[in-house]
Amino acid sequence: MGSEGKAREELLELVRSLTERIRVDGELGKPLSYLSRGKVGAATAGGAGQGAAIAPSVTDAPRLEAVRAELGDCQRCSLGRLRHRLVFGEGSPQADLVFVGEAPGADEDAQGRPFVGRAGQLLTRIIAAMGLKREEVYICNILKCRPPENRNPQPDEIAACEPFLIRQLQAIRPRVICTLGTFAAHALLKTESPISVLRGRFHTYQGIELMPTYHPAYLLRNPAAKKQVWEDVQMIMKVLCEGR
Ligand code: URA
Ligand code: URA
């Protein structure tokens, strides 16, 4: 717990110092360019951003809805017949940060929402520790339908589903993508390197910064790995707040 508590404290300190910078910049009338899409930071800026042009784009939501409409009652792979609910994804169409997981589990299949089971609750706490709310980010998966017994996604299933993920990412155009676990990293980065090697540094996906990190379900089994995930999310926070 010791090093994990320390990492968490460091993250909270980072959030505090960024909040302070946003407040001071707001008071000095500096353009809050790092808030320019009106997303990350707005929740913690505490109204300091008066004068900053925060004009959320209205063009992204219809594009996402078009992707959902094209999926329809999808039967492009054999998982379609087995599902209760298709899990498209949820969150802000203007998100700066998109989390991409593997596939729905039983809870997600029942509710039609991503990351709502035990692993999802841990993801929600990680998002909160970043100073963000679930509604401010976007959360989705490589596969939209649950594989039986939560088995690994098969190549043909990924091939059928991935075009829709790509179009979701193109509609949102986030500044950072955070992939959760082995499958999401391998699917988007087209590599087979172990997640332990891939995580901890940014990769590029279609010009977007991509940080692979461990899956929250893995953290439930290996709590010691939370320290690395805190490191990864701190690097994400820096990119989101520095307006690189
Ligand atoms: N695990 C995932 O990869 N995605 C979910 O939505 C839930 C659990
Ligand atoms: N192995 C996995 O499959 N996922 C992780 O996140 C970590 C190890």
Section 199-205 average pLDDT: 98
Number of domains in the chain: 1
Please tell me the predicted confidence (pLDDT) of residue 60.
Answer: 77
Indicate which ligand has the atom closest to the C-alpha of 105.
1
Is residue 139 a part of any domain in this protein? yes
What are 161-189's pLDDT values in tens digits?
Answer: 999 999 999 999 999 999 999 999 999 99
Sheet strand arrangement including 97-101: 90-91, 138-141, 97-101, 176-180, 208-213, 203-205
Å from CA of 56 to ligand 1 middle? 28
Is residue 229 a part of any domain in this protein? yes
Local confidence band at 200 (pLDDT 50, 70, 90 cut-offs): very high
Do residues 142 and 84 touch, judged by C-beta distance below 8 A?
Answer: no
Å from CA of 120 to ligand 1 middle? 7
> Which atom of ligand 2 lies at the shortest distance from residue 183's CA?
3
Check pocket membership of 89 for ligand 1, CB cut-off 6 A: no
pTM given for the model: 0.79
Predicted confidence (pLDDT) at residue 44 exceeds the cutoff of 60: no
Please tell me the predicted confidence (pLDDT) of residue 220.
Answer: 98
Instruction: Give the separation between CA 160 and CA 178, rounded to whole angstroms.
Output: 22
If one residue of 195, 197, 222, 227 were mutated to test the ligand 2 pocket, choosing by the most ligand atoms within 8 A of its CB, it would be: 195
Predicted confidence (pLDDT) at residue 130 exceeds the cutoff of 90: yes
Pocket of ligand 2 (CB under 6 A): 181-182, 195, 214-215, 218
Is residue 121 a part of any domain in this protein? yes
What are 49-68's pLDDT values in tens digits?
Answer: 333 334 444 567 899 999 99
Look up residue 94 and give its two tokens: 């203007």
Indicate which ligand has the atom closest to the C-alpha of 145.
1
> For the chain, what is the mean pLDDT?
86
Is residue 171 a part of any domain in this protein? yes
What is the percent of the chain with per-residue pLDDT over 90, rounded to a whole number? 74
Section 93-121 average pLDDT: 98
What is the extent of the structural domain holding 63? 3-31+54-242
If one residue of 218, 226, 232 were mutated to test the ligand 2 pocket, choosing by the most ligand atoms within 8 A of its CB, it would be: 218
> Which atom of ligand 1 lies at the shortest distance from residue 215's CA?
3
Is residue 97 a part of any domain in this protein? yes
Distance of alpha carbon 115 from the chain centroid: 11
Backbone angles phi, psi at 7, to 5 degrees: -60, -40
Predicted confidence (pLDDT) at residue 27 exceeds the cutoff of 50: no
The string of DSSP codes covering 172-211 is: H--SEEEEESHHHHHHHHT----HHHHTTS-EEETTEEEE
Check pocket membership of 105 for ligand 1, CB cut-off 6 A: yes
Is residue 44 a part of any domain in this protein? no
Is residue 222 a part of any domain in this protein? yes
If one residue of 85, 99, 141 were mutated to test the ligand 1 pocket, choosing by the most ligand atoms within 8 A of its CB, it would be: 141
Local confidence band at 201 (pLDDT 50, 70, 90 cut-offs): very high
Local confidence band at 18 (pLDDT 50, 70, 90 cut-offs): low
If one residue of 182, 198, 233 were mutated to test the ligand 2 pocket, choosing by the most ligand atoms within 8 A of its CB, it would be: 182
Domain of 92, CATH number, reads 3.40.470.10
Is residue 47 a part of any domain in this protein? no
Local confidence band at 1 (pLDDT 50, 70, 90 cut-offs): low
Instruction: Give the separation between CA 56 and CA 37, rounded to whole angstroms.
Output: 6
Check pocket membership of 108 for ligand 1, CB cut-off 6 A: yes
